[in-house]
Structure 1
């Protein structure tokens, strides 16, 4: 197996573990590294593909706690938001898109940390849910990371963590599926060009990461896991931004 494929497989594994332990983070952790290893187009699509599997697997265990009224409103916004996100990704040259992805990941992570400390709230109504879904869908299509917008919304509306995490999983499945569809429509070359052994390896480590994450979630504190996820995601986001700036020059 080629070294780059080994690194891709490892990035997928890290994302799967993060998704199972924290309820989100596949796109944040794996996204920037897959963009670096592949390209900003097919890298994001691969994140979306794996994200569907990861969120779907977690959802199979948490569906009873999902808040379906919020899910439909958020999902409607995400379906709309993936259209401009996919159009933007298809229109930008690779270096510019790498810069955009890096900035989106860095800003979204910092914003979610700041929002968690300011103590302000906002109403949980149709408008705020639709807007949150729209922002999440746009980021999912453009950068493969639709979770932070919904996470910030959960903090600002004081959404119960258990019902939020359960609702987030089917929402991410809808958002990432929509992102793949529209990216395929607007950019026919976005599908990752990987050999069959690479796809098999990705599927295997995806399962292994989810199983390992399930075991780890019972052994380590979720706040510790979240800190590790943020550090990895910030590092990947910065590396993606720097690579884009270098190639742009």
Structure 2
């Protein structure tokens, strides 16, 4: 097995492990590695595809605790937000896009770590959910990391952790699926060109 393939499988394994333990983080953990190992276009598509599977696997265990009205508002925003995210990623040359993806992920990590310390709150309503979904969808299409925007929303609205984590899973499935579809429509050549054995390996590490 080629070293690059081993690294791809390891990156996906770490991302799936994070998703199962915390309810999010697949794109934040695996995204930077897959972008470097493949390229910004197919790397993010692969993050999205594997992220759908990882989120769905968590969702089948937590669906009873999901908050469906919040999910609908967030998902609507995410579907709309994938359009500018996909347009942005398809219009940029590879080196600047790699820098942009890295910067977005760093900003996402910093915001996730610092917002909880501010002690501020925002109302949990249709407007804030739709706006959060828009940012998340754009981030998912551009950098494969749609979770931090919703995590920031959860912190600022004091969303109860178990309900948030359960609702996040179907939301990420919808958001990442929309990102894959939108990027396929805008730039059909972004699909990762991997051998069948590699796809099977990806499925195995996701299950693991």
TM-score, normalised to structure 2, is 0.99
Write the distance in 1 (CA, Å) between the matches of 2:59 and 2:144.
19
- The CA distance in 2 between the partners of 1:67 and 1:201, in whole Å, is 34
> 2:197 maps to which residue?
197
- Unaligned runs of 5+ residues in structure 1 are 209-249
Deviations 1:82-109 (A, max 9, x none): 0000000100011111011000000111
Question: Which secondary structure does the structure 1 equivalent of 2:189 belong to?
Answer: coil
Matches within 5 A, 1:214-229: none
Question: How large is the Cα RMSD of the aligned pairs?
Answer: 0.5
In structure 1, the partner of 2:111 is 111
Give 1:113 shift. 1.1
| Post-superposition offset of 1:68 | 0.1
Q: Which residue of 1 aligns with 2:38?
A: 38
Tell whether 2:52 aligns with 1:52.
yes
Counterpart of 2:61 in structure 1 is 61
Instruction: Give the superposition deviation at 1:112.
Output: 1.6
Is 1:18 equivalent to 2:55 in the alignment? no
- 2:87 is the alignment partner of 1:78: no
Structure 1 Cα separation of the partners of residues 195 and 102 of structure 2 = 27
| Offset, 1:46 | 0.3
1:145 aligns with 2:171: no
Higher relative contact order, chain-length normalized (CA < 8 Å, sep 6+): 1
Write the deviation string for residues 22-80 of structure 1: whole angstroms up to 9, x where unpaired.
10010000011000100000000000000000000100000000000000000000000
Q: What is the distance in 2 between the residues matched to 1:63 and 1:202?
A: 24
Residue-by-residue CA offset, 1:164-187 (whole Å, 9 max, x unaligned): 000000000000000000000111
Which whole-Å CA distance do the structure 2 matches of 1:144 and 1:152 have between them? 17
Q: Which runs of 5+ in 2 are unaligned?
A: none
Q: Matches of 1:191 and 1:200 in 2, distance apart?
A: 16
Q: CA deviation at 1:111?
A: 1.2
Structure 1 runs (4+) deviating above 6 angstroms are none
Correspondence 1:161 to 2:161: yes
CA distance in structure 2 between the partners assigned to 1:113 and 1:207 by the alignment: 29
Offset of residue 188 of structure 1: 1.1
> 1: distance between equivalents of 2:116 and 2:189?
39
Report the Cα distance in structure 2 between the residues aligned to 1:8 and 1:154, rounded to whole angstroms: 31
CA shift, 1:114, in A, is 1.2
- Paired with 2:131 and 2:181, the residues of 1 have a C-alpha distance of 21
Q: What is the TM-score normalised by the length of structure 1?
A: 0.83
Query: Residue 171 of structure 2 aligns with which residue?
Result: 171
State the distance in 2 between where 1:15 and 1:65 align. 23
